[in-house]
């Protein structure tokens, strides 16, 4: 698998969530994603970028365009050095929140992605990687 391009967006505040959405949209268009595919990955990115701002003290979003044989995909990596998540399974459940949100962010982002990885522990920060492949529902 090849990574054809990589872009890193620093995420510190609410305005950066909008910047992540725009950067992910552009990468998805460049890969030829359909409008629905674009909207799904941009929405997932918006949820995860906001989580970094609200709970992780900010972080980075890395946008990688992937080429795997005939497959084209977009991988997004969200990394923060915040407090981390004590119970990942609980955090993935719809409706669970420690803040004022609706608790749809993590579970929703997972549903909107083809692949979802999460790596987090208390005091260790959080790293979430999501991938969507073009043409896969």
Partner 1 sequence: MERIPILKLGKCLIVSIQVDMDDGTAITLQDDLTEKIVRHRAKGVLIDISALDVVDSFIGRMLANTAAMAHVLDAETVVVGMQPSVAITLVELGLSLKGIRSALNIEKGMELLRGIDDVPELANADEQH
Residues that bind partner 1 (CB under 8 A): 14-15, 17-18, 21-22, 25, 35-36, 38-40, 42-43, 46-47, 50, 94, 101-102, 104-105, 107-108, 111-112
Radius of gyration of the chain (CA): 14
Whichever of 18 and 121 has its CB closer to partner 1, that residue is 18
Minimal distance, residue 22 CB to partner 1, in Å: 7
Please state, in angstroms and rounded to a whole number, the distance separating the CA atoms of residues 34 and 50: 24
Q: Could you count the other beta carbons within 10 Å of the beta carbon of residue 98?
A: 13
Whichever of 21 and 134 has its CB closer to partner 1, that residue is 21
**Would you list the DSSP string of 77-90?**
EEEE-SS--S-HHH
Q: Extract the tokens encoding 112.
A: 């909107």
Minimal distance, residue 119 CB to partner 1, in Å: 23
Minimal distance, residue 28 CB to partner 1, in Å: 11
Minimal distance, residue 123 CB to partner 1, in Å: 27
Whichever of 102 and 121 has its CB closer to partner 1, that residue is 102
Whichever of 67 and 134 has its CB closer to partner 1, that residue is 134
Contact 119, 61 (CB under 8 A): no
Contact 62, 24 (CB under 8 A): no
């Amino acid at each position: 698998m090849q990574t054809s391009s990589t872009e890193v967006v620093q995420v510190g505040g609410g305005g950066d969530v909008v910047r992540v959405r725009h950067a992910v949209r552009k990468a998805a268009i460049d890969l030829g994603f359909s409008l629905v595919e674009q909207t799904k990955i941009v929405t997932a990115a918006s949820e995860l970028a906001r989580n970094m701002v609200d709970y992780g003290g900010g972080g980075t979003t890395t946008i990688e365009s992937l080429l795997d044989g005939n497959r084209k995909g977009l991988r997004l990596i969200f990394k923060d050095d915040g407090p981390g998540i004590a119970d990942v399974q609980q955090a993935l459940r719809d409706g669970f929140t420690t803040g004022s949100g609706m608790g749809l962010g993590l579970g929703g982002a997972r549903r909107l992605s083809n692949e979802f990885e999460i790596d987090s522990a208390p005091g260790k920060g959080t790293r979430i990687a999501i991938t969507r492949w073009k043409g896969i529902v």
